[in-house]
Structure 1
Amino acid sequence: MESVSQTLPLLRELAQGIAAQFGERCEVVVHDWSQPYESTIVHIEHGHVTGRKVGDPGTNLGLEVMRGTSEGGHRQNYVTRTKDGRLLRSTSIYLKNDAGTAIGALCINFDISELLAAEKALQGLVGMQELPPVQESFVSNVGDLLDSLIQEAEDAVGRPPALMSREERIRFIALLDRKGAFLIKKAGEKVCAYLGISKYTLYSDLEEAKGTDAEGEQS
């Protein structure tokens, strides 16, 4: 496979077949990472599950794979939560070209909320207690995804921008970088405005941040 667009007709048929098999609670999404990240969704079945449509962005997990801070291996049978609190059982299959580079993804998100509210026998079928939680942001606007990553980084640092020391600010930027935030178009401008710093300061801090780990220690 050289590109997602080249294989899109087959991927569409796969998505349609999976969605038909598991019904309206099963969303199936095809992402093409050659597109700007604010519009990576090129096909979707049952988009009402996460409220997304063709032309909407990917999630934070895709950004991490593209950034190289998350292994490109498939993620299977993990649990995520939508903005309105519904629980999804998800699988992300990363599509790679002949060189082994991830170029897109086929993702399945099955809404298990009603199953979890059913009888105990169904809970055994779902197997929720055995599944580790995964933080994944389903958004219809890439700006919302960036806002989510910024809030996550601020929560990790534990201080609002006005109270951050320089070291804490660099850790904040390092966290955003590791999550792939700066792959989003115009992310730098938004982060500068949020932190109240210039682009020069951001680029300087970003260079220093690349030499630190998520805890702010030199690597």
Structure 2
Amino acid sequence: MTTVPEKDVFALINQIAEAIALTFDNDCEVCVSDLDTPEKAVLYIYNGHVTGRKVGSPLIEEAEARVKNTDENVYLNYKKQIKKNGPSLKSSTIVKKIGDRNIAFCINYDCSHIESIQYTLMNFLQTSSDQEDMDILGINTPSALVPIIQASIQAINKPVQDFKKVDRLNVVRNLDQRGILKIQNSVRLIAEALGVSRYSIYNYIKEVRGESR
């Protein structure tokens, strides 16, 4: 079996890092570090402004913890913050031994812009209306509600006929938190989907809201 020269392996890693950074644009930092030389660990880095690093920068505190662990590890889709009041990062890190060197391949995605968009959308979508009989573009028609109710039921991950009371409460709680119970016909449709009476659904609603029967 042919052994690939170490320099070719690093060249490929560098190309993959650049490809990821270009694909996901300026908010995505990709960094390749040598864990065995923490004082000048960064070998390759793209969009280094995300964490304020460049080639030759030392390991950040979060990565230093990996220096003591020479085993190969994979840390996928975790959240971290490099410094106080810094951006929230969505990260994945792969630690592999290449030759005699412990190498970390890390992706850090700055979620600040997405979180700002999310906040704006949530504020925009909030309403103060409690009217149950509004029908905007057919949103609260039975055909639109049924898939939402079914999705909450399927999340329990068992057949409806096997549901216990706690399962039905979880479905009602989920739908209530999503505002579905404010929509006309929702109680009837939930009762039909769960195979219980509307009276039972109203009791479940009181229970999940902490109200007395």
TM-score by length of 2: 0.48
Bigger CA radius of gyration: 2
TM-score by length of 1: 0.47
Say which structure, 1 or 2, has more relative contact order (CA 8 Å, 6+ apart).
Answer: 1
